[in-house]
Amino acid sequence: MEDKITAAIKGAIENAPARKFVEAVDISFTIKDIDLKNPNNRIQEEIRLPHGRGKVIKIAMFAAADAAKKAKAAGIHVIDPTEIEELGKNKGTAKKLANSFDFFLAEVPHMGLIGRYLGVVLGPRGKMPRPVPPVIDPAVIATGLQSTTIIKSRDRVTFQASFGTLGQTEEELISNCLEVYNRVLSKLERGLGNVRSIFIKTSMGPAQRIEVIN
């Protein structure tokens, strides 16, 4: 399968149209013979990519006082917890905030308030904040998230994840892709036997089908 993935990535790179921005490279799976109505069968994985995401990941944190200082020092955008309720009352502003960042963090005491006022916006986007205990430096979590991609099926048989960008080398993309591929297959009862199809493509480019024989 590694050879097929390599060929598909090469094809995606070669056929990617010229753009004024650096495109992401995605892998999509369509699985079969799995009851996704049962939450226990769903795929939901955070995967640390060996060569990172190929772009700067934007992270924000709901924090005050010392935690806010630590977050700012780590290059994390800080949101004052006193703004949570007001943000929740303005859905347009809340949606804009949710779409502006890849991940959110929060001091533990603010999690309930965030859930109450912003859960309806952040939850469906899979962006509910990760709680940061007082003893943990948010910089440590942020560093890990810079190379993390998330893949989740929910209740759909087709799902995808980005594993890099065209700004990375072919070798880096192959390594990253294999990390995602192997993790997903490890979560399927019959491995490749539960896969109907796999495609690799850039954000705007044509999809490259990987032949699945099982």
- Predicted confidence (pLDDT) per residue in 85-144, tens digit: 999 999 899 999 999 999 999 999 999 999 999 999 999 888 999 999 999 999 999 999
* Distance from C-alpha of 141 to C-alpha of 74, rounded to nearest angstrom: 10
Burial class (CB within 10 angstroms; exposed 0-12, middle 13-18, buried 19+) of 20: exposed
Quick one: pLDDT at residue 126?
A: 87
Q: Is pLDDT above 70 for 214?
A: no
Q: How would you class 210 by CB atoms within 10 Å of its CB: exposed for 0-12, middle for 13-18, buried for 19 or more?
A: buried
Whole-structure pTM value: 0.85
At 88, phi and psi to the nearest 5?
A: -65, -25
Contact (Cβ atoms closer than 8 angstroms) between residue 200 and residue 27: yes
One-letter identity of residue 87: L
Q: How far apart are CA 55 and CA 149, in angstroms?
A: 12
Provide the pLDDT for residue 113.
95
Domains and CATH numbers, the chain: 2-54+148-210 (3.30.190.20), 59-145 (3.40.50.790)
